[in-house]
Amino acid sequence: MSGVGSSAGVDESLLRELVPAVIGVLGRRGADFASAEDAVQEALIRALDTWPDNPPRDPKGWLVAVAWRKFLDAARAESSRQGRELAVDAEPPAGPAPATDDTLRLYFLCAHPVLPPAAAVALTLRAVGGLTTRQIAAAHLVPEATMVQRISRAKRRIADLPLDQPGDLATVLRVLYLVFNEGYGGDVDVAGEAIRLARQLAALTDEPEVAGLLALMLLHQARRASRTGPGGRLVPLAQQDRSRWDTALIAEGVAILQTALARDQLGEYQAQAAIAALHADAPSAEETDWVQIVEWYDELLAITDSPVVRLNRAVAVGEADGPQAGLSALAAVDAGLPRHTAAAAYLHERAGDLARAADLYAEAARLATSVPERDHLTREAARVRQLLGT
């Protein structure tokens, strides 16, 4: 589906799925992570190049063989440079180990807390996601040379970390959510890849928060098509055409969420997914259950104590209890937050103070951090000024 051009004819999603397992095989044969990952990346590029004309009967076997050869070549070159013996046997040792553990370990390693988020995202996309460096660079709109360095620095940073300890699941989830939410160039559907990686992780672990994140992604993905109008303009939730929401994705997200919630180990992603599910469940904006949404924001606040959650909660309070209540709630939120002014503009408009709202919308447009938000807020300012007749 995704991926066009030079690699047309190759099932790229199959290739991508195989990458972490192949890195795992090389690791069990004695290769260190950094070298194994490089070798598999080379094999992957070779596969994209040769498979269209010459598809292998056993794709995984092909990848393992080619990657292992690349690894041995690199290791021999390195050891002859250093004048010492090759540290691994040229013949692969026998004895399979569970591949699921390998893949799970890769998630933790690539999203290790010592890595800056951008590095963790890049490394996760390459080693767990099976994307090429070029695809990752294109997605992030940076030169390939920069992405090569970003990834090799990240690998050096984690080279000496012990791999046998359980990793930090919270950072893994944060990295996957970043992958899902960032804006991307290039021709790879990165949000779709984030969902695939979350699905795979959910199959490997039994943590309700992983299910919560997957549900959250599915529920947002279900609305993606309705979130932008002509020319990429942003369509706010209340104005989205709900007939365009993907009901299959919503049903799947809700089912996954319900199973997770039944475990009674609430976490931030489950709470966020619950809010998204309540929106998805409303036949119209007017029928949204804002009272329950505010309750979920209270839960979320108890877990995270995040200023952004406090801000979103104030807007929900404005819907549940009226704009004055919303403004009171907003008064307790740090005014320096992005979108604080936009929230104030919205609540003042609802409270009937159009002049104030128009000024605040215009100011919020100046403070916006993205083009769609800036353009949306500029239109809102213009709309309210028109209502004012000025």
Partner 1 sequence: MKYLILKHYRGGPTPAVEFTPMEKWTPEEVDAHMQYMSDFASRLQETGEFVDSQALSSEGAFVRSDGEGRPPVTDGPFAETKDLIAGWMIIDVESWDRAVELAGELSAAPGAGGEPIHEWLEVRPFLTGVPGGTD
Which residues would be at the binding site for partner 1 (CB under 8 A)? 116-119, 140-143, 145-147, 149-151, 153, 181-183, 220, 223, 227, 234, 236-237, 276, 279, 312, 338-339, 368-374, 376
Listed in sequence order, the residues at least 6 apart from 386 whose beta carbon sits closer than 8 Å to its beta carbon are: none
Contact 329, 307 (CB under 8 A): no
The strand pairing partners of 339, in sequence order, are none
The nearer residue to partner 1, 18 or 195, going by C-beta atoms, is 195
Note whether 132 and 157 are within 8 A (CB): no
Q: Are 290 and 318 in contact (CB under 8 A)?
A: no
Which is nearer to partner 1, 77 or 141 (by Cβ)?
141
Using the minimum distance from each CB to partner 1, give the nearer residue, 71 or 180.
180
User: Which residues make beta-bridge pairs with 228?
Assistant: 234
Among candidate residues 108, 120, 98, 197, the one with its CA nearest the CA of residue 161: 108
Chain centroid, CA 35 distance in Å? 26
Closest distance of CB 157 from partner 1, Å: 11
Q: Could you give the 3-state DSSP secondary structure of residue 57?
A: coil
Task: State the minimum distance, in angstroms, from the CB of residue 154 to partner 1.
Answer: 8
Question: Of the two residues 70 and 150, which places its CB atom closer to partner 1 in the complex?
Answer: 150
21 contacts: CB under 8 Å, gap ≥ 6: 60, 99, 102, 103
Contacts with 273 (C-beta within 8 Å, 6 or more apart), sequence order:
212, 213, 215, 216, 219, 253, 257, 260
- Closer Cβ to partner 1, 16 or 150, answer by number: 150
User: Taking the complex as a whole, how short is the minimal distance between the CB of residue 143 and partner 1, in angstroms?
Assistant: 7
| Minimum distance of partner 1 from residue 350's CB (angstroms) | 17
Query: Closer to partner 1 at the Cβ: 31 or 364?
Result: 364
Q: Toward partner 1, which CB reaches closer, 88 or 191?
A: 191
CA dist., res. 347 & res. 327, Å (int): 6
CB of 145 to partner 1, least distance (A): 6
Helix pair angle (371-388, 340-350), 10° resolution: 30
Q: Rank residues 43 and 122 by Cβ distance to partner 1 and give the closer one.
A: 122
CA distance 319 to 342: 15
User: In sequence order, which ranges of 111-183 are alpha helices (DSSP H)?
Assistant: 117-123, 133-140, 144-158, 169-181
User: Tokens in use for 217?
Assistant: 């992604």
Name the phi and psi angles at 228, rounded to 5.
-125, 140
155 conformational bin, left if phi > 0, alpha if psi -120 to 50, beta if neither: alpha
User: Minimum distance between the CB of residue 185 and partner 1, rounded to whole angstroms?
Assistant: 8
> Measured between alpha carbons, how far is 232 from 130 in angstroms, rounded to an integer?
29
Task: Kindly state the smallest distance separating residue 116's Cβ from partner 1, in Å.
Answer: 5
Least separation in angstroms between CB 373 and partner 1 = 5
Smallest distance, partner 1 to C-beta of residue 279, A: 8
Q: Which is nearer to partner 1, 224 or 383 (CB)?
A: 224
